[in-house]
Structure 1
Amino acid sequence: MFDRIRKRPKPRVYLGTLTVLPRSDFKRHFEGGGFVSGQPLEAPLRLRLEEIFNLPLARECEHPGATDLAVDLVVVGFQTGTNLALWELGVPLLWRPKIELAARVYRLGDGETTYLTQVVTKQPWREYRARLLTVRSILGLRPLFDAEDMAALLSKACLQMLPRLIRAV
């Protein structure tokens, strides 16, 4: 009896959809509208997700087995952070870069959801304060945080989510 439980077939895992939702919050106006170096940030984040989760695509599976699973990943929200100061009011506005990543694991055969999870990752205060004191921040020549910084933060969010997904599978 226990041999049957222990030797249960491992499910094959496929990649469902990858989505980066466009920003609609008020903070995006202070950060350049979600653009980094003139380019929308959604595309680099989606490419980074594709690199991290390099799995076969669910839509290419012709004959799904009973145990086959697929994972959908969604960047629910993100902010690039800023050091905006409203000196007229005497109030500095500071917020750190943040990424919200959600995942859904479902059976490929019938589409029934088996697991949902969400991770929120922010840049640590120490790293944020260190960035505030750079020439880049003081002169304001470029954005405080660029696509590479956000891709690194997305990688941290994926590393936090991965153990949860492994347990779900």
Structure 2
Amino acid sequence: MLFDWFSSAKPNVYLGSIAVVNDSNLSKIESFFSITGNSLQDHIHQKLEEIFCLERISSIQEPKKSDVGLDVVIVSLHGGDAFSINFGTVGLPIFWRPKIKLVSRLYNLKQNKTIKTFSVSKSVTWGEFIAKQFSLKGLFRWGPLYHKEDMEILLYQACFELIDRMRKAI
């Protein structure tokens, strides 16, 4: 009973903004060769909102002193592929693995002061990437190697690690 007076209450966490900001040169090259356009970004944004299903900051009337806001941004989203460019007898292999990089910020709502920032990056292992390249699908190219479902797995792994880091920081 005595120790209850000295323990601090866990703060309430509210969702600020969620975004997919993917402006790397690699993603521009990838979107140039892609038929689907921004559908991967839209799909991943939707899944990110499903994962972080917290109450929005806009719904709070009067924030408490201990209330915390959370912003989550995907700064890198690459689907992964491999091909080669041939210059006569010389070929140049070009490849990149699927990757998702999340950046988040926890901040005090009353003071709008950043408490801590986090960054998590997840990509497919080299072994898995090479195995997928030499599969039947990779050899005959029946569409993209990594579908939305494959990218969701990376997203879930990155979000799990991000939430675990934030949980330990609060």
TM-score of the aligned structures, taking structure 2 as reference length:
0.88
Displacement of 1:3: 4.7
Question: Contact conserved, 1:35 with 1:41, CA < 8 A, in 2?
Answer: no
Displacement of 1:34: 8.2
Question: Contact conserved, 1:37 with 1:142, CA < 8 A, in 2?
Answer: no
- Correspondence for 2:12: 12
Identity %: 31
Q: What amino acid is aligned across from residue 75 of structure 1 in structure 2?
A: I
2: distance between equivalents of 1:133 and 1:60? 50
1: distance between equivalents of 2:126 and 2:109? 41
Task: Supply the RMSD in Å over aligned alpha carbons.
Answer: 2.0
Aligned partner of residue 32 in structure 1, secondary structure: helix
Q: 5 Å matches for 1:1-169? A: 3-5=4-6, 7-21=7-21, 23-33=22-32, 35=34, 37-88=36-87, 89-169=90-170
Structure 1, unmatched stretches of 5+, are none
2: distance between equivalents of 1:59 and 1:160? 27
Q: What amino acid is aligned across from residue 11 of structure 1 in structure 2?
A: P
Structure 2, unmatched stretches of 5+, are none
Question: Contact conserved, 1:28 with 1:34, CA < 8 A, in 2?
Answer: no
Deviations 1:6-52 (A, max 9, x none): x212211111100100x333323442338564553211111111111
Q: What amino acid is aligned across from residue 12 of structure 1 in structure 2?
A: N
Question: Contact conserved, 2:79 with 2:99, CA < 8 A, in 1?
Answer: yes
Question: Contact conserved, 2:24 with 2:76, CA < 8 A, in 1?
Answer: no
Distance 1:19 1:156, change over 3 A: same
TM-score of the aligned structures, taking structure 1 as reference length:
0.88
2: distance between equivalents of 1:93 and 1:151? 24
2: distance between equivalents of 1:30 and 1:162? 31
The number of residues matched between the two structures is 167
Displacement of 1:141: 2.6
Aligned partner of residue 49 in structure 2, secondary structure: helix
Question: Contact conserved, 2:102 with 2:120, CA < 8 A, in 1?
Answer: yes
